[in-house]
Amino acid sequence: MTNREPRYPDLAIRPQIVRNAPLLTFFIAGDLHAIGPQVPPPLSPHPNGRIVLNMWFLPNPEEMTGFGEPGPMGVTYLATEVAGEEGASADGATRFPGRFWLEHWSSSSAARQYAHRASGLEIKSGDTRLHFQDGFVTATLRLADRAVVTARARVGRDRLKTVSGHSIYYAERDAEARSREVARYEVPWVSDAYAAEGGTVEFNFPEDERALRVVANGRQTVTAVSFRKITLVPYIAQNVVERSPR
């Protein structure tokens, strides 16, 4: 990677809000032998070995603060759950493992630039779309002209409940010359939950895609699926948990 000025966060960056983004979340059975080498110390994979696939698309620029350049926005990321500090709902009733970002794609160049300037996140270009029809939602991630992720679930129309909380994320980023560091991100959110079932996920990445270090192409084993409309404040790092040489 090229050397960058490592001063994160950029204090000139204003926090941004994304409102009511339709979010599909799939929990996929992972391989700890493949995941382990991709998780930097001091983090370690959670013993359950799950991979999280999140996909959302918000076509209306008025539903977000814009990251400096308002427009439609779609996001897909793969993360693995890690041991240690947990996220939680605001009432404390639900707790869930922290997550380490493995791969991250966004259709918004403004959001990608914002994420790097604000906190050193490396987000790739990719086009995520969600399509709703006959009680099903289909989500696709396209890289260039290739659909590399296709995911589908049956979702309900009626809101079940509203839940709020904080999720704990980690990412590796450039630090001082010839070093890397692991940063911690605490993401606040409020979401309306809907019924979701019958999740399917298929990967079709090109052979040189880094995601294939932790997943294989083809149909995935989905252990759970959820659908929410979520409001969140993304991409702001709180602190550094580890720094190491390259």
Is there a contact between 99 and 52 (Cβ–Cβ < 8 Å)? yes
Q: Give me the pLDDT at residue 169, please.
A: 97
Give the model's pLDDT for residue 3.
41
What's the pLDDT at 10?
Answer: 62
Choice between 234 and 176, residue whose per-residue pLDDT is larger: 234
The number of domains in the chain is 1
H or E element in which residue 33 lies? helix 32-35
Q: Is 151 helix (H, G, I), strand (E, B) or coil?
A: strand
Please state, as a whole number, how many other Cβ atoms lie within 10 Å of the Cβ of residue 205. Answer: 18
- Report yes or no on 74 lying in a domain: yes
pLDDT per position as a tens digit, 124-172? 999 999 999 999 999 999 999 999 999 999 999 999 999 999 999 999 9
Cα separation of 135 and 196, whole Å? Answer: 10
Q: What percent of the chain is helix, strand and coil (3-state, nearest 5)? A: 10, 60, 30
Summarised one tens digit per residue, pLDDT across range 213-235 is 999 999 999 999 999 999 999 99
Residue 7 domain-assigned (yes or no) = no
Mean pLDDT of 167-194: 91
Task: Give the domain extent around 196.
Answer: 18-245
12: in domain: no
**For residue 31, what is the domain's CATH number?**
2.40.400.10
Rounded CA-CA distance 40/240 in Å is 13
For the entire predicted model, the pTM comes to 0.93
Contact (CB, 8 A) for 170 and 86: no
User: Is residue 48 in a domain?
Assistant: yes
Strand partners, 60: none
Query: Would you state the pLDDT for residue 5?
Result: 47
- DSSP letters for 48-112: T-EEEEEEEEE--GGGB--TTS---EEEEEEEEEEEEEEEEETTSS-EEEEEEEEEEEES-HHHH
Q: Is residue 9 assigned to a domain?
A: no
CA distances 230 to 105, 215, 220, Å, are: 18, 26, 25
In a domain, 11, yes or no: no
Residue 224 in any domain: the answer is: yes
Task: Decide if pLDDT at 41 tops 70.
Answer: yes
